[in-house]
Structure 1
Amino acid sequence: MTTLPKEVIVDEIELLRRLVPLAGARVVELGCGNAALARRLLEQQLVTSVMAFEVDEVQHSRNLTDPHLGGLHFMVGGAEDIPLPDASCDVVIMLKSLHHVPISRLDAAFGEIRRVLVPGGYLYVSEPVYAGDFNEIVRLFHDEGSVRAAAYDALRRAAAAGLLTHVEETVFNTPLAFRDFDDFVDRIVHPTHSTLTLEGATLVEVRRRFDRFLTPEGARFVREMRVNLLRK
């Protein structure tokens, strides 16, 4: 049997628009990072409002200093305890953030997401798949295999228990590029929320593996992603 190649998606907002009815939506983004997605959704007038949550207080402070955008609101907090009223949003988005929820609070997080969604509301969860060349480099100093598996298990438990209905799963490839090794370190090893270190023999091996992909134009990888769409 021939296996078809996975779809390549450069800009995930295209997939989000394809899967989720966004027009007029009140969106909650859990783990918004620098709020790039939230800002684009509002700038392109795809949604009505975004309440963007971030547990990293350094990043949250930076978000507050960025230019104000109508409809965008920031709060400190995580998925396991969402300080919003019941049935107060139409869409919840989690981009590469579900596996950052403490394992012991994952089930509580799905309960909270169900609570804040309106009936018929959507949960869009995008997570990196634990596989591929890029993962083989990163896992040397930051192995997320167990937390990603726990996050996926919790998602399936939420669906099996009837908290949310699983609509579909989409697996795709997305390109990932770095100018050089320093760019990789700045973005992957030293983001604001990170306490990771890279030194000694581990640094040598990480750099050796990274350099295999380095060209005069930079280092390019293909990262496999999985999106699960659920509905209340």
Structure 2
Amino acid sequence: MQIKPEKIELSCPEAEIYQRLLRLDNSDIVELGCGRAEITRDIASSGSGRRVFAFEVDEAAHQANLQITDLPNVTFDLAGAESIPLADASVDVVLMFKSLHHVPRELMKPAMHEIHRVLKPGGQLYVSEPIFAGDFNEILRLFHDEQQVREAAFNTLHQAVETGLFELVEETFFNSPMRFDDFADFDNKVINATHSEHRLDEALYQQVKARFAAHQGEDGAHFEMPIRVDLLRRPA
């Protein structure tokens, strides 16, 4: 199911959501699509007894992550969700933070089966995905319309539950605060993100810049991204 953004009353950093839903201490944890390893760092450096396997498909991000030396309990590797280089039933938790819709559509279903394979019986899959709505989305869709891939991601999760591959534990909807210093910050982090190739002509670039400027204040540009979290469990 979806939910209208105006119906979402909870606004908080995502850390508050996964810390409430998951017990990560003394666990083997997989993060698929770790990006710049910002959430990886929070998970690995909080609590105790956490061993994290952080996978990324973007070569540039992966090479940057390999330079990290202060997270001894994290193993970084280059791999996609459809091919996880770990043994069967070897991990307690799999995390996907806004990464399922980046999996090619033809690989989303195989990815669900691969996640099922590496999870222990009773192990949990945490998936957060942006809802196709909100001011930030209206800027993003000018040059990168994700409506179809986000719908495909939601449908993939729904099918995984309907077929019995996973059990639905809980759904949570919240608004995730986002902030950019200025348009240059947005340009660097979003338009020039290494995981995507965005080609904007000058007219479109100026249109995006003008739309962004409407949200710029003295302390930066603030947005709230509506997010859906599905907490699933591999049947015991």
TM-score bracket for this pair, using the shorter chain length: over 0.9
Tell me: CA distance 1:177–1:113, structure 2 relative to 1, closer, same or farther (3 Å). same
Pick from 70, 73, 83: which aligns with 2:72? 70
1:79-100 deviation line (CA, Å, top 9, x unaligned): 1111111001000000010001
Distance 1:22 1:139 in 2: 35
After superposition, residues 13-162 of structure 1 pair within 5 angstroms as 13-162=15-164
Task: Provide the residue aligned with 1:214 in structure 2.
Answer: 216
Distance 1:70 1:228 in 2: 29
Task: Provide the residue aligned with 2:186 in structure 1.
Answer: 184
Shift of 1:47: 4.8
Instruction: Give the TM-score of the pair, scaled to structure 1.
Output: 0.95
Are the aligned partners of 1:27 and 1:47 in contact in 2 as well (CA < 8 Å)?
A: no
1:127-174 deviation line (CA, Å, top 9, x unaligned): 111101110011000001100100110010000000000111111011
- Partner SS, residue 40 of structure 1: helix
1:98-149 deviation line (CA, Å, top 9, x unaligned): 0011100111000000000001100000111110111001100000110010
Are the aligned partners of 1:41 and 1:47 in contact in 2 as well (CA < 8 Å)?
A: no
Distance 2:140 2:93 in 1: 31
Are the aligned partners of 1:170 and 1:228 in contact in 2 as well (CA < 8 Å)?
A: yes
Shift of 1:45: 2.6
Distance 2:119 2:8 in 1: 35
Q: Percent identity?
A: 48
The amino acid of 1:94's aligned partner reads: M
The amino acid of 1:26's aligned partner reads: D
Distance 1:79 1:142 in 2: 22
Shift of 1:191: 1.6
Pick from 172, 179, 202: which aligns with 1:170? 172
Distance 2:38 2:48 in 1: 14
The amino acid of 2:134's aligned partner reads: G
- Unpaired runs of 5+ residues, structure 2, are 1-5
Distance 2:160 2:104 in 1: 16
The yes-or-no answer on 1:9 pairing with 2:12 is yes
Quick check: 56-65 or 214-223, which moved more?
214-223
Distance 1:210 1:35 in 2: 26
- Partner SS, residue 66 of structure 2: helix
Superposition CA RMSD, Å = 1.3
Pick from 188, 205, 208: which aligns with 2:207? 205
The amino acid of 2:225's aligned partner reads: R
Distance 1:174 1:133 in 2: 12
Distance 2:188 2:147 in 1: 22
